[in-house]
């Protein structure tokens, strides 16, 4: 279910799908694509943020709200049940996704936004990572792939949909 819930979350960059234009910001200041570094593969990474995976999304959300003053800034539900929330915590973003049967110690993933998820996937595989899921167009408009890094951490590689 976590894969079906990333719509509209672009970390603390201030980018929000569903807006008429996806313009990244840092601390409220627009960041021009030319100002962001380009990586050897020629793609641009615009943001990344951790995602905690849990079988009890309401419990974990309440914990971060109570312990750290987190605020829900986005939620995605499926069949009337939240399956993903993005929390603003201080100046950062923390995603929490509903996934059942996650073994302890495997409950974190990193979501990486890039301008080309397919290229990021190909480059990651070429660099020696393990493929989890090839790039796929998601119902909410993003293109998403999954790989494990060399230490088996799950990485989601995503491209936001073009501005509407």
pLDDT along the chain (164 residues), means of 10: 42 33 44 51 80 90 86 94 92 90 79 90 86 94 89 86 84
3-state secondary structure of 141: coil
| Predicted local distance difference test score (pLDDT) of residue 151 | 66
Kindly state the greatest CA–CA separation across the chain: 43
pTM of the predicted model, to two decimals?
Answer: 0.58
| Predicted local distance difference test score (pLDDT) of residue 152 | 81
| Predicted local distance difference test score (pLDDT) of residue 66 | 85
Assigned architecture for domain 2-17+41-159: Roll (3.10)
* Cβ proximity of 25 and 13 under 8 Å: yes
Count CA atoms closer than 13 A to 2's CA, side-chain side. Answer: 27
| Predicted local distance difference test score (pLDDT) of residue 91 | 83
Eight-class DSSP state of 59: H
């Amino acid at each position: 279910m976590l894969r079906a819930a990333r719509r509209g979350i672009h970390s603390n960059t201030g980018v929000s799908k569903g807006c008429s234009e996806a313009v990244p910001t840092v601390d409220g200041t627009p960041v021009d694509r030319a100002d962001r570094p380009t990586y050897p593969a020629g793609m641009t990474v615009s943001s990344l943020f951790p995602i905690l995976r849990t079988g009890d999304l309401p419990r974990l959300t309440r914990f971060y709200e109570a312990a750290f003053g987190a605020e829900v800034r986005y939620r995605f539900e499926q069949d009337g049940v939240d399956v993903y929330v993005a929390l603003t915590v201080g100046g950062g973003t923390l995603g929490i996704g509903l996934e059942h049967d996650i073994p302890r110690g495997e409950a974190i993933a990193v979501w990486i936004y890039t301008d080309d998820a397919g290229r990021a996937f190909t480059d990651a595989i070429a660099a020696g990572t393990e493929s989890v899921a090839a790039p796929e167009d998601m119902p909410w408009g993003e293109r998403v792939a999954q790989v494990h890094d060399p230490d088996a951490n799950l990485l989601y590689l995503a491209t936001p949909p073009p501005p509407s």
